[in-house]
C-alpha cells in the first residue's frame, strides 16, 4: 500500500490542463455554442405510452412563423439500430413504448417557437396496456413490448424470446447437489429500483452542414460511437461525419451511446441552417436511453459446517425498459456480481434482461454492480450470521485471494482483496465500541477491466513541445490528463510541454471514449506505443550527435544523454529543432490488448465473454452509520474505501474518483430511486424529488489503494478506476443498517420510509415472538 | 408577444443596455444578451446551483430570478472574479485541491463560496457545508471542494 488521502499534494502528480478555463467560466460546453443563423430544436414526445400511433399531423406546426423544419419518421431512413439487438428507431412509427419516445422534431428561430411548434403537432393514439413489472412480464399472457421482436436483427449468440430481451446463465460444478449436502442453506430476496446518472450538465447537441459533410458538437462521452450511430441511421460514410465534444459536464455513463446527434443533424440538413438542441433537466431524466436498471434478486447459498461457501444458485431479473440500448451484456455481468469475488465451487445463476414500458436502461457507472453487490453482500451478512461468524471473518474465509480460483474457474495472479478488507476496516476502527445507534457495515466488490482497440497520434514540433491526438474523451475524470504523464515519461520531458487533442473524430484515431473506465488502460497503451516511436527517433538523433549507440541514450528531464555519462548530453528541444529540418518527429500507436484469461469448467447459455476478466479490480468499503430510529433517517459518518485497481498513476485523479463514487453510492443507497406510476411514467423526474447528496452530507472518506504487481492489465499494471468505487458503498450501508435493525432493508434505495417500515416490522416480529414465548 | 422591457444592468463592472422579455430570467439575460456563458443552466428550478451569480453581492440562482429585477444593479458572474490573468484565490484553490472535475458546477460553486467568504471570512467546516449546500456536484464527492474553500479562507488576510 503506498497511497492514501494523506499523501502530500506535491506527491500527487496530477496535471489538469483544462482547469483554468473551468474555474473562470471561459470553457465552452455544447450548450454554450452559437453559430451564425443557428436554429433551436425541440422534440415532441409521446403524450401517452404505451400506445399505438394512429396518426401524426405536422401541418399546423410547419406553418408557424419561425419554424424552418419539422421532421418525423417519414423524413429519415426507415431502419432499426442499437448494439446487440436492433430494436430502436430515431422516430416512432407505429408504436410508442415509453414516455420519452420521440415522435417528431422541430427547428425554429427561438427555443420558445420550437417548443410551441412541437406542442402544435397533432397526434392520435390508441392506448395499450403497460408492462411495468419484470416479475410478471414473462408470463405468456403479458402484452409484448415489441410484438415484432422476432424480426429484429441481433448479434450472434443472443438468447431471447418475447419480452425476454436477453438471457445469460453461468454454471459451474453441481450447485443443486451441493445444496443437498450442505450444513446451512440461506435464501434471500432483494429488490432494487432504477436510478439515474444525473450529470449536472443536461445534454446538448449542435449540428452544421457544409456541402455533404456535417459537423456535430455533442455532449457525448463516446464521440466515435456517436459518429457510428449517425452514419448508420442517416446512411453516411464515416469521413463525412465529424463529432466534436466541447467541454463535457459529466456523464457517469448517462452520455454514453448514440442519442440525438442524428436527429439534430437531420434537422439542420432539412432547415439548411445550423441547429442546436439543449435539454431541460426534465428531459435529461425522462428521455435518454440511459438509466440505471431496476433489478430483482433471489439468491440461495450453501455453507459447510465451517462456514465455507459450497454453492450458490440465483435468479436475477433486470428491467431493460422499452429498448435495449447497450444493455445486452448486462445479464452475464449481473450474474457475475450475483456471485461476487468468492471461492464458491458450485454456482448456477440465471439472469434475464426484460422489456418493460419504462425508460430504457443503459450503462450507468458500473452497470448492474451497485445493485447486485448490495443484494449479494446483504445476503452474505445473512450467511455470516447463519454460520455464527463475524461478517468480516466470513469474508476473509471465503473471498478470493492471490493464486486462488474464483467462482467461474479463473485463477487469480497477484490481487489485493484481502488487503483491501484489512485497510477499509482498519480505516473505520472496525471492532471498536460504537455510540448508540451506530454500526459499521462492510462489503466487498469487484469489477472488470475492459479492453478495446484504441489509437493515438503524437508529434513533437520544432520547439520540443508535443501534441497527442487521441480518441480518448474527457468527461471530468481527468483520465485523459494522465495520458500526458505516460507520454512525458517515455519522452523524458515535462508533462506541461504536452497538449492534448482529445475530442474530435476527424483529428484522432478511434478510441472507446469515456466509457468502461477504459481511458488509461486502452488509450494509455496507444499513447505509450506512439511516444516510444518518437523516443526512438530522438535516441537516433542523439546517438548521431553524441557518437554513441542509440540503445545507450537515456531521455530524462528534457535531456538526451549517454547512459552513465550525464555530461555527454544534448537538449531534447535541440534534437526537435534538428528534426524539424529533416525527418519529422511523428509517432502513432495502437498495440494489441491483453488476452482474456480462461474460465475453467464454466458453461454458459447466452455467453457474453464476461466470465473471466482481464485485470480484475477489487474493493472493500466499510461504512460507519448512525440511524435515527424515530424517522428512519440514516447518516453516513465514516467510509473506509480500499481499492485494488492496480497501479495508481495519477493519485489526485484517483482520489477524486473514489470520493465522487462513494458519494454517488451513498445517494443510491439512501435517496436515489425512480418512482413510477402505473403506466410506467416517472413521478420524480426533477432534482427536488430525486435527491442527490449535497456537500452537507459528506462523511469522512478514508481511501487506500492496494497496488499488487499486475501483469495482464493496462500500462504499468493500471486497471482503471472510474466505476469500481461505485460498487460496494450501498452494500456496506445496508449491512450497517441490518445490524442496527436486526434485519436487512430489502429494497433499494433504503429510503427513510423503507427503513422506518423495516424497523416497525422487526419490532412487530420481536413483539410477536416474545408474546408467543410468554404463552 | 411577450412585452419587452428596456433597462440598464451592470455586469462585472460593465454597463449594458438590454431589451428583454418581461418574464426573462437573469440566466437567459446573461447568456443570450450579455454574452457570458460561464453561468450554467443545470435544472431551471433552483435545485442545482449551477446558475449562481451575485446581485449586489448577494448570491441568487439566476434561473429563477427575474432579469428585470437587476435593472440599475450590479451583477457579478464567474467571469468577473479573476483580475487580468490572476485567478481569484477561490479559483486557484479549486485547482490546487482538485475541486474541479467536469467543471459544470464549478462557476456556481465558486460564486456561492465567494458570497460565503464575503460574509463569513473564516467559516467553520459546518458553515462551508451549509453555505454551499445549494450547489450540487456529481463528480468530486465534495471533499476536495470543502478543502479548497477552507484553504482559500485560511490563506486570506
CATH number of the domain residue B34 falls in: 3.10.20.30
Q: Do A25 and B36 touch (CB under 8 A)?
A: yes
Q: How confident is the model at residue A8 (pLDDT cuts 50, 70, 90)?
A: very low
Is A464 within 8 Å of chain B by CB?
no
**CA A25/CA B78 separation, integer angstroms:** 6
Strands A164-172 and A602-603: antiparallel
Taking only residues 495 to 534 of chain A, the set having a beta carbon closer than 8 angstroms to any beta carbon of chain B reads none
**DSSP letter at A591?**
P
Closest partner residue to B130 (CB to CB) among A252, A280, A696 is A696
Query: Strand, helix or coil at A314?
Result: strand
Residue with cell 419554424: A67
- Spatial contact of A744 and A499, defined as CB atoms under 8 Å apart: no
Closest Cα in chain B, distance from residue A702 (Å)? 11
For residues B75 and B95, state if they share a domain. Answer: no
Query: Strand, helix or coil at A219?
Result: coil
Q: Which residues contact A219 (CB under 8 A, 6 or more apart)?
A: A29, A30, A31, A201, A203, A204, A205, A245, A246, A248, A249, A251, A255
Q: How many CB pairs (< 8 A) connect A and B?
A: 170
**CA A711/CA B109 separation, integer angstroms:** 41
Give the pLDDT confidence score for residue A694 in this predicted structure: 98
Closest Cα in chain A, distance from residue B72 (Å)? 24
Is A18 within 8 Å of chain B by CB?
yes
Q: What is the pLDDT of residues A204-251, one digit of tens each?
A: 999 999 999 999 999 999 999 999 999 999 999 999 999 999 999 999
Mutate which: A13, A16, A25, vs B, most B CBs within 10 A: A25
Q: Do B40 and A688 touch (CB under 8 A)?
A: no
Give the pLDDT confidence score for residue B156 in this predicted structure: 81
Considering only CB atoms, which chain B residues are within 8 Å of A12? 98
Radius of gyration, alpha carbons of chain A: 27
Query: Strand, helix or coil at A697?
Result: helix
Q: Which residues contact A139 (CB under 8 A, 6 or more apart)?
A: none
Is A639 within 8 Å of chain B by CB?
no
For residues B61 and B11, state if they share a domain. Answer: yes
Question: What is this model's ipTM?
Answer: 0.98
Domain boundary among B42, B62, B80: B80
> Could you tell me the CA-to-CA distances from A368 to A167, A376, A612 in Å, in that order?
14, 12, 17
- Spatial contact of A465 and A497, defined as CB atoms under 8 Å apart: yes
Q: How confident is the model at residue A559 (pLDDT cuts 50, 70, 90)?
A: very high
Considering only CB atoms, which chain B residues are within 8 Å of A478? 101
Between helix B106-119 and helix B143-155 the angle, nearest 10°, is 40
Return the closest-CA partner of residue A256 out of A514, A456, A24, A452.
A514
Give the pLDDT confidence score for residue A15 in this predicted structure: 59
Q: Taking the domain A32-127+203-278, which CATH number applies?
A: 3.90.1170.50
- Spatial contact of A249 and A256, defined as CB atoms under 8 Å apart: no
Burial A113-148 (b: 16+ CB within 10 A, else e): bbbbbbebbebebeebebbbebeebbeeebeebbee
Considering only CB atoms, which chain B residues are within 8 Å of A693? 142
Taking only residues 67 to 86 of chain B, the set having a beta carbon closer than 8 angstroms to any beta carbon of chain A reads 77-79, 81-82
Note whether A32-127+203-278 and A295-450+598-763 share their fold. no
| Ramachandran class of A287: left when φ > 0, alpha when ψ lies in -120 to 50, beta otherwise | alpha
Q: What is the mean pLDDT of residues A531-560?
A: 97
**CA A343/CA A398 separation, integer angstroms:** 6
**CA A620/CA A423 separation, integer angstroms:** 8
Domain boundaries, chain A: 32-127+203-278, 295-450+598-763, 456-589
Q: Do A23 and B94 touch (CB under 8 A)?
A: yes
Higher pLDDT, A12 or B105: B105
Query: Strand, helix or coil at A277?
Result: strand
- Spatial contact of A612 and A408, defined as CB atoms under 8 Å apart: yes
Domain boundary among B80, B99, B114: B80
Where are the extended beta strands (E) located within A6-149? 39-45, 51-57, 67-71, 95-96, 102-108, 122-127
For residues B110 and B54, state if they share a domain. Answer: no
Taking only residues 249 to 278 of chain A, the set having a beta carbon closer than 8 angstroms to any beta carbon of chain B reads 249-252, 278
Instruction: Give the N- to C-terminal CA distance of chain B in Å, as an integer.
Output: 52
Considering only CB atoms, which chain A residues are within 8 Å of B137? 200, 695
Which residue is closest to A285 within chain B, CA to CA?
Answer: B43
For the domain made up of A295-450+598-763, the CATH class stated in words is: alpha beta
For residues B148 and B112, state if they share a domain. Answer: yes
Is A225 within 8 Å of chain B by CB?
no
Q: What is the mean pLDDT of residues A254-262?
A: 96
Return the closest-CA partner of residue A194 out of A684, A679, A705.
A684
Closest Cα in chain B, distance from residue A393 (Å)? 30
The distance between the two most distant Cα atoms of chain B, rounded to a whole number of Å, is 52
Q: Do B47 and A688 touch (CB under 8 A)?
A: yes
Return the closest-CA partner of residue A287 out of A296, A279, A295.
A279
Domain boundary among B50, B80, B110: B80
For residues B66 and B127, state if they share a domain. Answer: no
Considering only CB atoms, which chain A residues are within 8 Å of B28? none
**CA A315/CA A134 separation, integer angstroms:** 12
Backbone angles phi, psi at A450, to 5 degrees: -90, 135
Which residue is closest to A246 within chain B, CA to CA?
Answer: B102
Q: Do A661 and B96 touch (CB under 8 A)?
A: no
Is B133 within 8 Å of chain A by CB?
yes
Taking only residues 393 to 432 of chain A, the set having a beta carbon closer than 8 angstroms to any beta carbon of chain B reads none
Closest Cα in chain A, distance from residue B53 (Å)? 12
Q: How confident is the model at residue A685 (pLDDT cuts 50, 70, 90)?
A: very high
Q: What is the mean pLDDT of residues A82-97?
A: 97
Return the closest-CA partner of residue B110 out of B127, B93, B129.
B93
For residues B64 and B107, state if they share a domain. Answer: no
Give the pLDDT confidence score for residue B121 in this predicted structure: 97
Give the pLDDT confidence score for residue A12 in this predicted structure: 47
Query: Strand, helix or coil at A564?
Result: coil
Is B127 within 8 Å of chain A by CB?
no
What percent of chain A has pLDDT above 90?
92
Considering only CB atoms, which chain B residues are within 8 Å of A475? 102
Q: Do A698 and B142 touch (CB under 8 A)?
A: yes
Q: Which residues contact B76 (CB under 8 A, 6 or more apart)?
A: B11, B12, B53, B54, B57, B111, B114
Give the pLDDT confidence score for residue A16 in this predicted structure: 82
User: Can you give the pTM of this predicted structure?
Assistant: 0.96
Return the closest-CA partner of residue A288 out of A340, A360, A378.
A360
Closest Cα in chain B, distance from residue A726 (Å)? 12
Give the pLDDT confidence score for residue A772 in this predicted structure: 57
- Spatial contact of B68 and B20, defined as CB atoms under 8 Å apart: yes
Closest partner residue to A475 (CB to CB) among B42, B77, B102 is B102
The distance between the two most distant Cα atoms of chain A, rounded to a whole number of Å, is 99
Q: Which CATH number is B101's domain given?
A: 1.10.150.120
Q: Do B103 and A688 touch (CB under 8 A)?
A: no
Element (H or E) spanning A226, and its range? helix A223-234
Taking only residues 692 to 721 of chain A, the set having a beta carbon closer than 8 angstroms to any beta carbon of chain B reads 692-696, 698, 701
Closest Cα in chain A, distance from residue B39 (Å)? 7
Write out the three cell numbers for A522: 486502452
Considering only CB atoms, which chain B residues are within 8 Å of A696? 129-130, 133
Give the pLDDT confidence score for residue A775 in this predicted structure: 41
Closest partner residue to A200 (CB to CB) among B42, B129, B145 is B42
For residues B65 and B101, state if they share a domain. Answer: no
Considering only CB atoms, which chain B residues are within 8 Å of A687? 43, 45, 47-48, 136
Burial A750-765 (b: 16+ CB within 10 A, else e): bbbebbbebbeebeee
Closest Cα in chain A, distance from residue B7 (Å)? 22
Taking only residues 3 to 42 of chain B, the set having a beta carbon closer than 8 angstroms to any beta carbon of chain A reads 31, 36-42
Q: Do A698 and B139 touch (CB under 8 A)?
A: no
Query: Strand, helix or coil at A262?
Result: helix
Closest partner residue to A22 (CB to CB) among B41, B48, B106 is B106
Which of the following CATH numbers is that of domain A456-589: 3.50.30.30, 2.60.120.10, 3.30.365.10, 3.50.80.10? 3.30.365.10
**CA A716/CA A705 separation, integer angstroms:** 15
Q: Is B4 exposed, middle or buried (0-12, 13-18, 19+ CB in 10 A)?
A: exposed
Give the pLDDT confidence score for residue A480 in this predicted structure: 87
Q: What is the pLDDT of residues A361-420, one digit of tens each?
A: 999 999 999 999 999 999 999 999 999 999 999 999 999 999 999 999 999 999 999 999
Closest partner residue to A660 (CB to CB) among B42, B94, B139 is B139
Give the pLDDT confidence score for residue A477 in this predicted structure: 87
Average pLDDT, chain A: 95
Domain span holding position B144: 89-155
Query: Strand, helix or coil at A58?
Result: coil
Q: What is the pLDDT of residues A337-365, one digit of tens each?
A: 999 999 999 999 999 999 999 999 999 99
Strands A747-748 and B4-11: unpaired
Considering only CB atoms, which chain B residues are within 8 Å of A249? 40, 102-104
Closest partner residue to A660 (CB to CB) among B42, B48, B141 is B141
Q: Do A250 and B139 touch (CB under 8 A)?
A: yes
Considering only CB atoms, which chain B residues are within 8 Å of A650? none
The count of domains in chain B is 2
Return the closest-CA partner of residue A378 out of A102, A746, A772, A5.
A746
**CA B4/CA B24 separation, integer angstroms:** 9
Q: Do A694 and B91 touch (CB under 8 A)?
A: no
Give the pLDDT confidence score for residue A10 in this predicted structure: 34
Q: Do B105 and A29 touch (CB under 8 A)?
A: no
Q: What is the pLDDT of residues A727-763, one digit of tens each?
A: 999 999 999 999 999 999 999 999 999 999 999 998 8
Q: What is the pLDDT of residues B70-90, one digit of tens each?
A: 999 999 999 999 998 899 999
Q: How confident is the model at residue A567 (pLDDT cuts 50, 70, 90)?
A: very high
Considering only CB atoms, which chain A residues are within 8 Å of B43? 281, 686-687
Return the closest-CA partner of residue A730 out of A250, A253, A377, A331.
A377
For residues B102 and B43, state if they share a domain. Answer: no
Amino acid at each position: 500500500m503506498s497511497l492514501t488521502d494523506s499523501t502530500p499534494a506535491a506527491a500527487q502528480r496530477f496535471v489538469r490542463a483544462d482547469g483554468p478555463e473551468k474555474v473562470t467560466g471561459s470553457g465552452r460546453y455544447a450548450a454554450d455554442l452559437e453559430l451564425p443563423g443557428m436554429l433551436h430544436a425541440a422534440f415532441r414526445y409521446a403524450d401517452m405510452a404505451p400506445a399505438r400511433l394512429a396518426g401524426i399531423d405536422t401541418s399546423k406546426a410547419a406553418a408557424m412563423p419561425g419554424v424552418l423544419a419539422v421532421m418525423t419518421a417519414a423524413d429519415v431512413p426507415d431502419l432499426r439500430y442499437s448494439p446487440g439487438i436492433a430494436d430502436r428507431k430515431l422516430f416512432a412509427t407505429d408504436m410508442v413504448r415509453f414516455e420519452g419516445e420521440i415522435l417528431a422534431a422541430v427547428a425554429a428561430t427561438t427555443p420558445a417557437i420550437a417548443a410551441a411548434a412541437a406542442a402544435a403537432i397533432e397526434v392520435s393514439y390508441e392506448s395499450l396496456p403497460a408492462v411495468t413489472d419484470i416479475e410478471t412480464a414473462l408470463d405468456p399472457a403479458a402484452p409484448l413490448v415489441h410484438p415484432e421482436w422476432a424480426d429484429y436483427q441481433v448479434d450472434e449468440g443472443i438468447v431471447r424470446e418475447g419480452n425476454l430481451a436477453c438471457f445469460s446463465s453461468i454454471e459451474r460444478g453441481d450447485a443443486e447437489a451441493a445444496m443437498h449436502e450442505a450444513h446451512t442453506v440461506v435464501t434471500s430476496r432483494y429488490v432494487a429500483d432504477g436510478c439515474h446518472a444525473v450529470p449536472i450538465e443536461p445534454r446538448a447537441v449542435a449540428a452544421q452542414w457544409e456541402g455533404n459533410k456535417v459537423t456535430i458538437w455533442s455532449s457525448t462521452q463516446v464521440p466515435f460511437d456517436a459518429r457510428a450511430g449517425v452514419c448508420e441511421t442517416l446512411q453516411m460514410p464515416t469521413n463525412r461525419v465529424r463529432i466534436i465534444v466541447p467541454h463535457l459536464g459529466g456523464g457517469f455513463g448517462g452520455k454514453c451511446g448514440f442519442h440525438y446527434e442524428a436527429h439534430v443533424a437531420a434537422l439542420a440538413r432539412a432547415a439548411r441552417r445550423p441547429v442546436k438542441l439543449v435539454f431541460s433537466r426534465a428531459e435529461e431524466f425522462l428521455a435518454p436511453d440511459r438509466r440505471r436498471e431496476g433489478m430483482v434478486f433471489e439468491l440461495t447459498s450453501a455453507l459447510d459446517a465451517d462456514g465455507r461457501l459450497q454453492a450458490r444458485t440465483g435468479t436475477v431479473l433486470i428491467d431493460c425498459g422499452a429498448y435495449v440500448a447497450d444493455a445486452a451484456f448486462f445479464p452475464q455481468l449481473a450474474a457475475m456480481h450475483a456471485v461476487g469475488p468468492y471461492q464458491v465451487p458450485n454456482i448456477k445463476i440465471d439472469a434475464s434482461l426484460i422489456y418493460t414500458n419504462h425508460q430504457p436502461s443503459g450503462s450507468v457507472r458500473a452497470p448492474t454492480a451497485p445493485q447486485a453487490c448490495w443484494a449479494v453482500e446483504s445476503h452474505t451478512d445473512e450467511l455470516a450470521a447463519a454460520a455464527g461468524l463475524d461478517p468480516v471473518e466470513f469474508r476473509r474465509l471465503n473471498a478470493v485471494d492471490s493464486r486462488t480460483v474464483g467462482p467461474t474457474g479463473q485463477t487469480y495472479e497477484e490481487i489485493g482483496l484481502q488487503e483491501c478488507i484489512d485497510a477499509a476496516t482498519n480505516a473505520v476502527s472496525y471492532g471498536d465500541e460504537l455510540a448508540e445507534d451506530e454500526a459499521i457495515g462492510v462489503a466487498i466488490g469487484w469489477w472488470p477491466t475492459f479492453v478495446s482497440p484504441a489509437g493515438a497520434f503524437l508529434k513533437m514540433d520544432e520547439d520540443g513541445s508535443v501534441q497527442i491526438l487521441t480518441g480518448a474523451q474527457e468527461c471530468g475524470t481527468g483520465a485523459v490528463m494522465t495520458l500526458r504523464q505516460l507520454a512525458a515519461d517515455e519522452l523524458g520531458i515535462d508533462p506541461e510541454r504536452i497538449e492534448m487533442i482529445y475530442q474530435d473524430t476527424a483529428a484522432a484515431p478511434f478510441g472507446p471514449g469515456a466509457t468502461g473506465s477504459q481511458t488509461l488502460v486502452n488509450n494509455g497503451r496507444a499513447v505509450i506505443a506512439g511516444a516510444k516511436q518518437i523516443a526512438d527517433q530522438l535516441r537516433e538523433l542523439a546517438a548521431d550527435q553524441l557518437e554513441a549507440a542509440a540503445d545507450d541514450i537515456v531521455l530524462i528531464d528534457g535531456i538526451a544523454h549517454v547512459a552513465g555519462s550525464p555530461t555527454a548530453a544534448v537538449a531534447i528541444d535541440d534534437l526537435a529543432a534538428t528534426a524539424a529540418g529533416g525527418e519529422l518527429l511523428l509517432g502513432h500507436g495502437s498495440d494489441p490488448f491483453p488476452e482474456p484469461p480462461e474460465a475453467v469448467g464454466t458453461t454458459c447459455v447466452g455467453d457474453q465473454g464476461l466470465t473471466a476478466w482481464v485485470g480484475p479490480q477489487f474493493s472493500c468499503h466499510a461504512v460507519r452509520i448512525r440511524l435515527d430510529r424515530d424517522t428512519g433517517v440514516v447518516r453516513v459518518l465514516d467510509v473506509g474505501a480500499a481499492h485494488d485497481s492496480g497501479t495508481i498513476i495519477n493519485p489526485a485523479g484517483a482520489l477524486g474518483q473514489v470520493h465522487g463514487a462513494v458519494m454517488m453510492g451513498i445517494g443510491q443507497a439512501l435517496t436515489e430511486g425512480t418512482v413510477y406510476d402505473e403506466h410506467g411514467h416517472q413521478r420524480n423526474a426533477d432534482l427536488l424529488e430525486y435527491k442527490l447528496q449535497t456537500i452537507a452530507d459528506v462523511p469522512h472518506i478514508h481511501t487506500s489503494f492496494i497496488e499488487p504487481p499486475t501483469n495482464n492489465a493496462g500500462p504499468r499494471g493500471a486497471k482503471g478506476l472510474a466505476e469500481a468505487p461505485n460498487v460496494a458503498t450501498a452494500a456496506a450501508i445496508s449491512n450497517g443498517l441490518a445490524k442496527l435493525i436486526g434485519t436487512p432493508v430489502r429494497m433499494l434505495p433504503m429510503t427513510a420510509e423503507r427503513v422506518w417500515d423495516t424497523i416497525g416490522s422487526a419490532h412487530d416480529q420481536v413483539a410477536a415472538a416474545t408474546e408467543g414465548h410468554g404463552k | 408577444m411577450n412585452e419587452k422591457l428596456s433597462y440598464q444592468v451592470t455586469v462585472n463592472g460593465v454597463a449594458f443596455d438590454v431589451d428583454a422579455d418581461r418574464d426573462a430570467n437573469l440566466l437567459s439575460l446573461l447568456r443570450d444578451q450579455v454574452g457570458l456563458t460561464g453561468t450554467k443552466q443545470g435544472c431551471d428550478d433552483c435545485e442545482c446551483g449551477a446558475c449562481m451569480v451575485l446581485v449586489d453581492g448577494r448570491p441568487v440562482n439566476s434561473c429563477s430570478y427575474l432579469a428585470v429585477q437587476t435593472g440599475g444593479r450590479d451583477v457579478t458572474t464567474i467571469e468577473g472574479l479573476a483580475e487580468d490573468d490572476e485567478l481569484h484565490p477561490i479559483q486557484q484553490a479549486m485547482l490546487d485541491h482538485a475541486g474541479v472535475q467536469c467543471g459544470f458546477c464549478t462557476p456556481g460553486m465558486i460564486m456561492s463560496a465567494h458570497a460565503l467568504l464575503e460574509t463569513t471570512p473564516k467559516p467553520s467546516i459546518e458553515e462551508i457545508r451549509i453555505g454551499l449546500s445549494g450547489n450540487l456536484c456529481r463528480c468530486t464527492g465534495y471533499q476536495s471542494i470543502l478543502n479548497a474553500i477552507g484553504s482559500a479562507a485560511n490563506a486570506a488576510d
